[in-house]
Amino acid sequence: HAGGNPGTGQGYTANFSTGGTYAFSPNLVADAHFGYVRMYTDVAHTDIGQNKGMDLLGIPGLNGTRAFEGGMPVFLFNTFQSLGITELYMPYTRNDDQYQSVANVNWMKGKHNVRFGTDIYVQAMNHIQPELSGGVNFGARGGFRFGGGPTQLSGGPSGNLYNAWGSFLLGLPDLLGRLHLAVAPYTTRQRSYSFYVRDQWQMTNRLTFSYGTRYEYFPIPTRADRGLERYNPETNMMEIGGVGSVPKDLGVKMEKGLFAPRVGLTFRASPSMVLRAGFGITNDPYSLSRPMRTNHPVLLNLTVPAPNAFSWAGRTADGVPSIADPDLGNGVIPIPSVITAFTIPQDFNRGYIKSWNAAVQKELKWGFVGEAVYVATRQIDQFGYRELNWSPIGGGQPGRQLVQRFGRSAQTLLVTNIGDSKYDALQTRLDRRFANGFQIGVGYTLSKSVGIAGAPNSDNTARIQIPEFYHLNTAISPFDRTHNLQITNLTELPVGPGRRWLSGGGALAAIVGGWQVNNILSFTSGTPFDITASGTSLNAPGSAQRADQVKSDVDILGGIGRGNAYFDPFAFAPVIEARFGTAPWGAMRGPGYANWDLGVFRQLTLPRNMNLQVRFEAFNVLDTAHFNNPGGNVSNLQLNPDGSVRNLNGFSEVTAAFGERQLRIGMRLGW
């Protein structure tokens, strides 16, 4: 099962809502709403319940006695495709409830339209899923990671993918471990409260001014029967909320001054032109239930690292150490040094987003409307993880901060603010609304997004964790696309009853009438990607290594496929010294793409108010290649003695594509 394992799944969504509106007077109206939603999913891999690690491979410590611990363990490699069940979050059963209560009052007085109200939201998670929200893990089945260090010469050339494969053949992983779910199902309960007031003031017939504010409070989440858990970095102990002398809220002070003001202006400069501008602050609503849901001792993440960059963590044949269920005791319990832990600050402050925009909209000739908007956002103190157990350059495992204090070698992640991000864009549109059987829209965006390297991703963990080098994480966002052009079109053929031609009907009108053609054309720039290098010489667990950029200008060669470089491979070099490389994160940008989606529809009218729609859809009609970004690990590059390329080994090579042509034919009967 290389690269994944097929599975099966089932699920349902159930919801209930009720609400009403009451008019005290024509100018004073109140409304209220209550809603409930349950989302249930149950997804599993096909070999669930089969202990292939212990029974088939004979490796001790893998799998377990419960069905969700069954399946093939994972073997991770540097560059090579992983083996086993690589979807480490599998399997999962999620039974999640959401409750929402909303009440609003709308009061109109003269030129003012005042609206105020409240929104109370409750989220409940009930999961059976051995998944870690952040950090390195090997899933419920356990596994091993093979790096180049154990087969690399200390002080010699930088390691590459063949060093990693050699470590695998020798059975010498540089990291091993397993997830153990001690509580099944585990639960979280998250509540949020918000209140708002807004006034829409019609200052003149041409000018409208809107202003208001929102207040929000996010208490710390809990479990269904007690509080969450928190690692105390001062005592090296876990504190269990609501057990013994530990308060249910863990003594964490949540910020209470979360006001979010907003203002907006609309000015009708002429009958055909409108100007708009606005500014607002939004509190980051990110729920702590996600990063704190699988903390110790609910989920035990055992990870055994190698003592240094050139050594190994153990032998594959010896397997993974056993994991025992912990006792909650008096609420303050020890944690093994090899078990991952999460924590949050005693004073927790939420980040926020500042947004502003200015727009001009103009009605043009022939039914067209044009708009140009400047949009900007500034995310302040984005949420993510900071590694408390970082190591300095050259420090290795002995240099980790908590190793030195407590002998603690495992990841210890602080859920906190990791940095800022910003986005600026010119967004333009040209639209012609549907008329006379024709509609077209053209949208173009010129934008730039800068944030923290490593975020956003599934973990929101910055690539470099050493505080004095943390500023190196500022980079172009991985989703950034400088240019984005979208063209949409809908055309009804002007043939048949009610149309320009053959409106009187007849056999020919029945055959060629009623057809509709839809088009979507997309043209976008490529996304940034990193040029990395082996981190063996860096020897700083918790931080990633960048390559050296040895040419100021990098030529784009445009090669596609094995043996063909997309960019100049000699523009970068491995780092064999104890320092970070000079190539910034997101140093290169991959291929852009063009795409055409086409839809052809025919609507037929049937007796008894029935209709039949025949649909033909083609995604990527021309089967244009959409290439993934090339490989960026310079340490994989192999050179001949004369300095020429012997083997690119994936570096600078584009070896995958996406979005192949898909054709779909369907029918829809309505009555």
Instruction: Note the pLDDT tens digit of each residue in 507-546.
Output: 666 666 778 899 999 999 999 999 999 998 999 998 999 9
pLDDT, residue 1, reads 28
pLDDT, residue 342, reads 93
Does the structure show a pLDDT above 70 at 33? Answer: yes
Taking residues 356-382, report their average pLDDT.
Answer: 96
pLDDT, residue 607, reads 84
Report which listed range, 87-91, 269-273, 302-306, 381-385, is most confident.
Answer: 269-273
- Residue 64: phi and psi, rounded to 5, are 180, -165
pLDDT band at 158 (very low <50, low <70, confident <90, very high): confident
Does the structure show a pLDDT above 60 at 254? Answer: yes
Residue showing tokens 């053929």? 493
Taking residues 456-468, report their average pLDDT.
Answer: 85
d(CA 128, CA 183): 8
Taking residues 72-92, report their average pLDDT.
Answer: 87
pTM to 2 decimals?
0.84
Measured CA distances, 394 to 97, 292, 338, 458, 511 (Å) = 48, 31, 21, 28, 77
Taking residues 386-409, report their average pLDDT.
Answer: 94
Q: Which of 283, 290, 337, 340 is nearest to 459 (CA)?
A: 290
Handedness of CA 479, 465, 400, 327 (dihedral sign): negative
Better-predicted residue by pLDDT, 78 or 46: 46
Does the structure show a pLDDT above 70 at 59? Answer: yes
Taking residues 608-630, report their average pLDDT.
Answer: 91
Does the structure show a pLDDT above 60 at 266? Answer: yes
Interval 201-215: pLDDT, tens: 999 999 999 999 999
pLDDT, residue 4, reads 42
Out of 35-44, 83-92, 476-485, 618-627, least confident range: 83-92
Does the structure show a pLDDT above 60 at 443? Answer: yes
pLDDT, residue 77, reads 86
Q: What is the mean pLDDT of the chain?
A: 91
445-479 burial: b if 16+ Cβ within 10 Å, else e: bebebebbbbbeeebbbbbbbbeeebebbbbbbbe
Count of Cβ atoms closer than 10 Å to residue 286 Cβ: 16
Handedness of CA 168, 172, 175, 177 (dihedral sign): positive
Taking residues 187-214, report their average pLDDT.
Answer: 96
pLDDT, residue 264, reads 97
pLDDT, residue 320, reads 94
Count of Cβ atoms closer than 10 Å to residue 615 Cβ: 15
Better-predicted residue by pLDDT, 564 or 514: 564
pLDDT, residue 2, reads 34
Contact status, residue 585 vs residue 546, Cβ threshold 8 Å: yes
pLDDT band at 505 (very low <50, low <70, confident <90, very high): low
pLDDT band at 496 (very low <50, low <70, confident <90, very high): low
Q: Six-digit token pair at 263?
A: 């203002």
Q: Six-digit token pair at 233?
A: 């970095």
d(CA 625, CA 654): 12
pLDDT band at 148 (very low <50, low <70, confident <90, very high): confident
Q: Which of 87, 287, 66, 292 is nearest to 181 (CA)?
A: 66
